Amino acid sequence: MSVPASSPDRQSTGVPGLDRRLGGGLLPGTLTVVAGATGIGKTQLGLQFARAGMTAPDEQRSGVIFDVSARGDSQSHQQYAQRMFDWTLRSVAGQDAIDLTDFFTESRCHGDYLHVFDYRGSRVTRRDLDHDQWHRWQAELNARLGSAIAFLYGNFVQGVRRVVFDGIEPADRPQESIQWNLLEYVYHQIVRKDPEWVARDLFRQGYRQQARAAAQHSYDPQKIGCLMLSTTHDTMLDELISRPLDEGDSLTNANTLIYMGKIREGHRLRRALYIAKHRGSACSEEIHPYTIDERGLAVDSELDEQDDR
């Protein structure tokens, strides 16, 4: 039985061939984790998912990019978005003080891309930092939470229903990564939280003055789809598939888990993906080769269909 490229109750990934293998797309209100090595195509897929919101009948808005990279924009979001979609990302920086004036006005721009940390250095896990460095990171994290709330909540009240979390660097134990800690908080305490309580967290003492506007701009958190892009040490797909998941690992809590890596075909390597988990739909156990060009990621069947036309 053929499966439609996308379904009304699903969110398209922006890759029709992948949508078909996901039973029509991703489920809103759930978390999808895409794991793979640097340069394998995760960021392109993330941008395709975000941009697919423009053509979704009940969205008609692009998603937003929440970048937690500690090494600058190594994922090249701006360049990819411009080249793939002629999309100029409106960038905002993480900051300690936030201007909440006229927050709910339609003309207020909350940005498409937030880079939380202004830092150039090594990976940020507890093992990599000494006691003082770790606590400085935690202090910076706490100072930047207001920016995270304003960015995400501001976009949600304006109709955005997709979030891509990118820039997660490898960590032997996710619980030791300050990036994973941040995203766990953001996911549960902003994305999935009741909008009224998110507004209370944002405006704090000024919430009473904003309560009516917040109620008028309410939204359903269960309609928001999240794609989390995680960089791994392993590059070969077989190694990723065979990797055991620790209890409490964020990957175990995801509704959908997709691995992206390299496979051997004769004397060459090529890219392929594997859907390791997808609750809510049957999915095949097949490995799916894909290519990347200036338009982004495409699974092989899409290329075959284009040739047939």
| pLDDT at 305 (0 to 100) | 47
Predicted pLDDT at 67: 92
What integer pLDDT is reported at residue 273 of this predicted model? 97
**What confidence tens digit (pLDDT) does each residue in 153-171 have?**
999 999 999 999 998 887 6
pLDDT at 279: 87
Cα Rg of the chain (Å, integer):
19
Contact 135, 197 (CB under 8 A): no
Show the low-confidence residues of the chain (pLDDT under 70).
Answer: 1-8, 71-75, 94-97, 118-130, 133-135, 137-138, 140-141, 171-176, 245-251, 301-309
- Structural domain total, the chain: 1
pLDDT at 7: 60
Q: Provide the pLDDT for residue 17.
A: 93
pLDDT of residue 127: 64
Asked if residue 6 is part of any domain, the answer here is: no
- DSSP annotation of 104 reads T
Q: pLDDT value at position 307? A: 38
Please report how the helices 131-157 and 178-186 are oriented relative to each other, as an axis angle in degrees rounded to 10: 30
Residue 50 in domain: yes
Q: What is the pLDDT of residue 94?
A: 67
- Is residue 11, in this structure, part of any structural domain at all? no
Residue 9 lies in a domain: no
Mean pLDDT (the chain) is: 85
Look at residue 1 and tell me if it is in a domain.
Answer: no
pLDDT of residue 164: 97
Residues 6 or more apart in contact with residue 148 via CB below 8 angstroms: 66, 94, 114, 116, 182, 186, 190
Query: Is 190 a member of any domain?
Result: yes
Largest CA distance in the chain: 66
* CATH code where residue 109 lies: 3.40.50.300
For 121-164, the pLDDT digits (tens) are 555 565 666 677 666 766 766 777 888 999 999 999 999 999 99
Q: Which pLDDT value is given to residue 244?
A: 73
pLDDT in tens, 190-204: 999 999 999 999 999
What global pTM score does this model have? 0.89
**Which pLDDT score is estimated for 172?**
65
> For residues 86 and 95, what is the distance between their CA atoms, to the nearest angstrom?
28
Q: Structural domain of residue 39, as residue ranges?
A: 16-308
Is the residue at 99 inside a domain?
yes
Cβ contacts of residue 281 below 8 Å, gap of 6+?
22, 23, 24
**126: buried, middle or exposed (CB in 10 Å: 19+, 13-18, 0-12)?**
middle
Is residue 264 included in any domain, yes or no? Answer: yes
Write down the pLDDT at residue 2.
38
pLDDT for 246 equals: 56
